[in-house]
């Protein structure tokens, strides 16, 4: 018997796994379970960023259903594609992102498992190229940003960004903090629809950031997870296009989770722009070898859906209509919510799925306990979780907290 030959189980806390510290559960994802367990019918889920329609559901898009039906008929093999994934998908999606940018041997893109995969791939690429590079991240940001870079072995630095008093960006403070950035450091930027604040950099501020990157040798790493949900497909990509035109080196992590509604399919892409063709070729081989060790090959189904939509004119048009309806709904809810209290007025001009309400964690907890309203502890709400008819109920529940906190010194 095998058990006769095995040593007695060791219980020493010195064993490798015994040395692991218990990790806290992800607070954002934890909201899904908390909301699900709440039996109050009037409960509102403003937690994790998934789009919801007026009925409160997150349906599979028509264009996605049609593409899936087409794939079922036409896909003849599930054989491996390789570490770069579906090259046609990356080329077509590159067209959506970069518009009519001419073909460029300095730019290379690959399919990744979601935007998170793209961020991690970029982080590993940076770490392999220069372990001393620091990653500058504005505060606040998506809670997964810093861990992704830290797990790749990179140091992160925080710079000021959001001005809670105005609901806008404290650009002077951001620039002041970035005077400490060194050549070769990475500057993480949200391409549009800032998560969690919805606060958008103006075109003039983007130009100033491009100039800063050029003069100080900083490398922008743009996280673009909401193209089309702010002001439109071209408008939401304008800052990324400008940065990629103005600078020799730039990175972008792209997610199709929200704009194609493909969340759990994990569809993303990563592009790197390099200073010249020879360096780009080295970058390309490093991207592929990193992807091979991280996930070997990205999952195909979601990317095949996006490719099918983008290569078919009718499906592409239908997807654009559906995306426009999502954007119109988000911006309509923004206007409605902003009108309910003076302290929420900035929400009308912010963009994307999120806004950060001026609430204390205690108020966030009270709203959950007393009204069944679920949001992140920092006051971030997913705007799409609201419906025209729930805005008054939500505003009524918020009012005492907004009034009280505005008088708190």
- The angle subtended at Cα 237 by Cα 236 and Cα 242, nearest 5°, is 125
Compute the least distance from the CB of residue 223 to ligand LMR, in Å.
10
Told to check if 254 binds ligand LMR by CB under 6 A, we report no
From 142, 149, 221, 270, residue interacting with ligand LMR (rule: CB under 6 A) = 142
Number of residues that bind ligand LMR (CB under 6 A): 6
Q: Cβ distance 273 to 248 under 8 Å?
A: yes
Told to check if 28 binds ligand LMR by CB under 6 A, we report yes
The H helix count followed by the E strand count for the chain is: 14, 13
Strand arrangement, sheet containing 268-273: 107-112, 268-273, 250-255, 219-224, 186-190, 134-139, 155-160
Compute the least distance from the CB of residue 48 to ligand LMR, in Å.
4
Our answer to whether residue 258 is catalytic in this structure is yes
- Phi, psi values for residue 108, rounded to 5°: -135, 135
Cite the DSSP H helix spans in 154-274.
Answer: 171-178, 203-216, 233-246
> Would you tell me how many other CB atoms lie within 10 Å of the CB of residue 330?
23
Compute the least distance from the CB of residue 380 to ligand LMR, in Å.
8
Candidate list 66, 83, 118, 225, residue with the active-site label: 225
Told to check if 48 binds ligand LMR by CB under 6 A, we report yes
Told to check if 195 binds ligand LMR by CB under 6 A, we report yes
Candidate list 170, 223, 236, 257, residue with the active-site label: 223
DSSP assignment string, 324-348: HHHHHHHHHHHHHHHTT-GGGGGGG
Told to check if 129 binds ligand LMR by CB under 6 A, we report no
Candidate list 123, 210, 258, 280, residue with the active-site label: 258
Q: CA-to-CA distance for 326 and 362, rounded, in angstroms?
A: 32
32's tokens: 């899904």
Compute the least distance from the CB of residue 315 to ligand LMR, in Å.
25
Compute the least distance from the CB of residue 142 to ligand LMR, in Å.
5
Tell whether the torsion through CA atoms of 184, 269, 28 and 341 is positive or negative.
Answer: positive
Site string for ligand LMR, 367-386 (x = CB under 6 A): --------------------
Half-sphere exposure of 361 (CA within 13 A, CB side): 3
Closest CB to ligand LMR among residues 327, 380 = 380
Closest CB to ligand LMR among residues 28, 173 = 28
The secondary structure element, H or E, covering residue 45 is strand 44-45
* Strand locations in 70-205 (E): 107-112, 134-139, 155-160, 162-163, 168-169, 186-190
Closest CB to ligand LMR among residues 48, 395 = 48
Told to check if 32 binds ligand LMR by CB under 6 A, we report no
Compute the least distance from the CB of residue 405 to ligand LMR, in Å.
24
Closest CB to ligand LMR among residues 48, 175 = 48
Name the residues that contact ligand LMR, by CB under 6 A: 28, 48-49, 142, 144, 195
Annotated active-site positions, please? 142, 223, 225, 258
């Amino acid at each position: 018997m095998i058990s006769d030959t095995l040593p007695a189980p060791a219980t020493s806390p010195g064993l490798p796994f015994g040395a692991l510290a218990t990790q806290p559960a992800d607070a954002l994802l934890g909201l899904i379970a908390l909301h699900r367990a709440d039996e109050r019918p009037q409960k509102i889920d403003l937690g994790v960023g998934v789009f919801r329609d007026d009925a409160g559901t997150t349906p599979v898009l028509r264009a996605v259903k049609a593409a899936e039906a087409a794939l079922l008929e036409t896909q003849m093999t599930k054989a491996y594609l390789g570490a770069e994934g579906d090259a046609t998908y990356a080329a077509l999606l590159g067209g959506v992102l970069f518009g009519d940018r001419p073909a460029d041997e300095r730019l290379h893109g690959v399919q990744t498992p979601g935007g998170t995969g793209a961020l991690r791939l970029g982080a590993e690429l940076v770490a392999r190229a220069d372990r001393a590079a620091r990653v500058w991240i504005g505060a606040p940001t998506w809670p997964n940003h810093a861990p992704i870079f830290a797990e790749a072995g990179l140091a992160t630095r925080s710079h000021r960004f959001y001005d809670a008093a105005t609901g806008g960006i404290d650009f002077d403070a951001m620039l002041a903090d970035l005077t400490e950035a060194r050549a070769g450091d990475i500057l993480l930027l949200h391409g549009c629809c800032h998560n969690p604040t919805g606060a958008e950099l103006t075109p003039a501020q983007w130009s100033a950031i491009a100039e800063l990157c050029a003069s100080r040798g900083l490398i922008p790493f743009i996280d673009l997870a909401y193209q089309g949900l702010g002001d439109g497909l071209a408008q939401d990509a304008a800052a990324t296009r400008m940065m990629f035109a103005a600078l020799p080196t730039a990175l972008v992590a792209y997610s199709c989770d929200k704009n194609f509604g493909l969340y759990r399919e994990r569809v993303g892409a990563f592009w790197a722009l390099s200073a010249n063709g020879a360096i780009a070729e080295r970058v390309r081989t490093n991207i592929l070898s990193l992807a091979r060790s991280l996930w070997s090959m990205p999952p195909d189904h979601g990317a095949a859906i996006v490719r099918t939509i983008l290569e078919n004119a009718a499906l592409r048009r239908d997807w654009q209509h559906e995306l426009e309806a999502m954007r119109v709904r988000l911006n309509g809810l923004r206007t409605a919510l902003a009108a309910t209290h003076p302290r929420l007025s900035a929400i009308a001009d912010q963009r994307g799925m999120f806004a950060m309400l001026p609430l204390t964690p205690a108020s966030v907890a009270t709203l959950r306990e007393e009204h069944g309203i679920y949001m992140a502890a920092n006051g971030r709400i997913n705007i799409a979780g609201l419906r025209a008819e729930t805005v008054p109920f939500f505003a009524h529940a918020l009012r005492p907290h907004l009034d009280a906190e505005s008088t708190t010194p």
